[in-house]
Structure 1
Amino acid sequence: MSASDYLASVRDRDWQQLESGTLRVAMISLGWWTREQAIPAVEDAEFCETTVLVSSSRKKATAAGEGIPSVETALTYEEFTDGEATDEYDAVYVCTPNALHLPYAEAAAEHGKAVLCEKPVEATRERAERLVEATEDVPLMVAYRMQTDPQVRRMRELIAEGAIGDPVGVHGSMSQQMLETVSGDAEQWRLDPDLVGYGASVMDLGIYPLNTARFVLDADPVSVTAQMRSVDEAFRDVPDQHAAFTVRFDDGTQAACTAGQHAAYTGHLRVVGTDGELILEPAFLGQPEQTLRLHRDGRRLEVADGRQDVMRDEMTEEFDYFADRVLREAPIGPDGDHALVDMRTLEAIYDAAETGDTVRV
């Protein structure tokens, strides 16, 4: 298949094998992301539906479920962990602050339920290892939504087919105005080291170019360097209001990435090869129109995404992929072992920023 044919088929679900079926999902934590992205995405999905909502109070969970016909039950966190209403859902979506992923994933595993856990899988490498071990008997997928994005999957295929020659460099960036777009004030969990983990920007944003580069290159990090700084008072407890880091992969490719929680709302991923380059922009933040471009031999091929709501469609793809794998009892990825590579890399990046050294992963 030619490069232009690859780009033309960008909307195909190359992963789908399921023809029918419904995975019933319990949503754990009802923050803005769950309410405004995950729940609407599941409503648009073909193979799953939201049946249970779990929050700090039944009142909050009940209110969030108004207008969603598929929702059957509202639970508190305690009621969920105690095992109430386990016959009303098949899987859970864990979208709590990072350091609270572990207890709810553990509870879901004890109830025999599949787990879709938001990235990063936990706040620290040690806690992530405990989570992966606790869920070894149930399906665990970590929610790297870019891996089910059709354009990202085409990037991976094009690179594997040699469309840009041998990959040599990756440039990736993601930034946002967190205090405006996420919570509107400084009192939020991404600024609390006890909840977020190592830091605010690389843990939350830099992980997107890091993991997406891993996916499209089919390669893993071997060493990193990093620089970080925090300037504003709101970021006094975290080291990385702004961050830049480099990654050397086991295929020899090198990546240079930036992330910032107090910068323009933007993102991109560029993979440069010996014979051309692939560019996905804007990327990661779900901004339409997302465009994939291939530059080679003086030619420019591109495909506009064509989606009215990129973020919701990325999330819908992710949930339907999860349902496809769980309902067919098929191997699932990105799984816990995959996520642990990121956790080791994140730990190394923060160590490198603190010491000024190149740190092996």
Structure 2
Amino acid sequence: MDLQALVDAASTRDWDTDPEGTVSIAVVGLGNYARNVSIPAIEAGDYAEVGAVVSGDPEKAERVADEHGAVPLSYEGYAEGEAVDAYDAVYVATPNRIHLDQIRTAADHGKHVICEKPLEATTERATAGVDACEDAGVTLMTAYRMQADPVIRALGSFVSRGGIGEPTKAMGEFTFPVLAGSNGPDQWRLDAELAGGGALMDVGVYPLNTTRYLLGADPGAVEAMARASEPFGDRPDDPDSPRFADEHVHVLASFPEGVVGEFTASFSGEADSWLELVGSDGRVRIENAFVPGGDRTVRVTTGDGEVELSGIGADETREEFDYFAHCVLTGTPPEPDGHDGLTDVAIMGAIYEAAESGERVTLTRR
């Protein structure tokens, strides 16, 4: 793929076969992200619509349902199958350690699932979610919106076809000041029991998963350092868990063919997100890489020249839900499936183990 072909591919849905119909989605969990990012993205798409909303706050459920012409449900009503005919699939947007319960409920009702990342808080719970959907014969997609962005998908093809030669190094950062604005310390992201960790689980998964996607490979070993100051750092009640609400984490990852990965995730500091992939014959640099709807810029430099992609892409949340709905309508397994999400949870578990022990941790191929 030459540079002009890359530019052309970056604005094209390579998966869209224009199927008939739409998929009605129940949004489970009505936090800020679900209300202000995900629901507008669902409604802006071609193949999905909001059929129901689920919240533990009856007033919020009623208000959001009225705004979007959906059925309001409590968690109890959702679990018991109330208004089950109002939706075809479920979007799980609750705190991480509650994902499994909502995935199981959806699978029990025979509903397809798109679940926010990380898939769950532990490998064991993520495995149980994957098994529940496989046993029920329903689709499970991990909500990796970057993999649905035409720009990122075009870059994946470009790299796999030798566009930057042999990849040698991947680097990335995502800093999200979680206490900025009106957000105080009393939030689920700083509760290691609910979140399964801190900055790594919440924002570090973005450079990790996007690198795995672009390289088409998983790390074989990791090393890590992590630290936290107050109000970060609380450990979960499980004494066997090495995880805590990390404020900063720095990861070295060893990928196949000698590719070295270096990633940083932080819950404090100046907000930033970027990813860079270096090869023997070029490099790819993505600025403002992981902010939903952000003004993203991609620079690709090779021996054939340089191209900058801006003003395209960055509607990846809409693409994500349309891609999921397209998979459901066509019976196509999603690329970021449950096993993809499970792999990242296992890798992040190894990263926490490495940070705790100070030792290099080898990953077992799943």
TM-score normalised by structure 1 residue count: 0.94
> Could you say what secondary structure the match of 1:257 adopts?
strand
> Could you say what secondary structure the match of 1:334 adopts?
coil
Name 2:275's counterpart in structure 1: 269
Name 1:326's counterpart in structure 2: 328
> Could you say what secondary structure the match of 1:120 adopts?
coil
> Could you say what secondary structure the match of 1:30 adopts?
coil
> Could you say what secondary structure the match of 2:271 adopts?
strand
1:161-200 matched pairs, under 5 angstroms: 161-180=161-180, 184-197=183-196, 199-200=197-198
User: Percent identity, aligned pairs only?
Assistant: 40
Distance 2:303 2:139 in 1: 44
Name 2:81's counterpart in structure 1: 83
Residues 25, 87 of structure 2: 8 Å contact kept: yes
Q: Does 1:352 align with 2:354?
A: yes
Distance 1:330 1:193 in 2: 35
| Aligned-pair CA distance for 1:65 | 2.1
Name 2:310's counterpart in structure 1: 304
| Aligned-pair CA distance for 1:350 | 0.1
Q: What does the per-residue CA deviation read over 1:171-211, in whole Å, with 9 as the maximum and x for residues that have no partner?
A: 11101111125x611000111111011x1111111110000
Name 1:211's counterpart in structure 2: 209
Name 1:139's counterpart in structure 2: 139
User: Which of 89, 97, 100 lines up with 2:98 in the alignment?
Assistant: 100
1:1-361 matched pairs, under 5 angstroms: 1-69=1-69, 71=70, 73-136=71-134, 137-180=137-180, 184-197=183-196, 199-237=197-235, 238-286=244-292, 288-297=294-303, 299-306=305-312, 310=314, 313-361=315-363
| Aligned-pair CA distance for 1:239 | 4.8
Residues 61, 74 of structure 1: 8 Å contact kept: yes
Distance 1:329 1:67 in 2: 31
How many pairs are equivalent? 353
Distance 1:286 1:57 in 2: 26
Distance 1:95 1:18 in 2: 27
Distance 1:298 1:138 in 2: 45
**Cα 1:6–1:95, aligned 2, differ >3 Å: closer, same or farther?**
same
Residues 156, 215 of structure 1: 8 Å contact kept: yes
| Aligned-pair CA distance for 1:64 | 1.5
| Aligned-pair CA distance for 1:262 | 0.7
Q: What does the per-residue CA deviation read over 1:194-247, in whole Å, with 9 as the maximum and x for residues that have no partner?
A: 1011x1111111110000000000001110000011123344443520110011
Residues 191, 234 of structure 2: 8 Å contact kept: no
Q: What does the per-residue CA deviation read over 1:23-48, in whole Å, with 9 as the maximum and x for residues that have no partner?
A: 00000010000000010001101001
> Could you say what secondary structure the match of 1:187 adopts?
coil
Q: What does the per-residue CA deviation read over 1:241-283, in whole Å, with 9 as the maximum and x for residues that have no partner?
A: 0110011113431100000011211101100000110111110
**Which amino acid in the other structure matches residue 118 of structure 1?**
E
**Which amino acid in the other structure matches residue 89 of structure 1?**
Y
**Which amino acid in the other structure matches residue 127 of structure 1?**
R
Residues 18, 328 of structure 1: 8 Å contact kept: no
| Aligned-pair CA distance for 1:292 | 1.3
Distance 1:65 1:203 in 2: 30
TM-score normalised by structure 2 residue count: 0.93
Distance 1:201 1:288 in 2: 20
**Cα 1:67–1:233, aligned 2, differ >3 Å: closer, same or farther?**
closer
| Aligned-pair CA distance for 1:298 | 7.7
**Which amino acid in the other structure matches residue 289 of structure 1?**
D
> Could you say what secondary structure the match of 2:220 adopts?
strand
**Which amino acid in the other structure matches residue 184 of structure 1?**
N
> Could you say what secondary structure the match of 1:67 adopts?
helix
> Could you say what secondary structure the match of 2:277 adopts?
strand
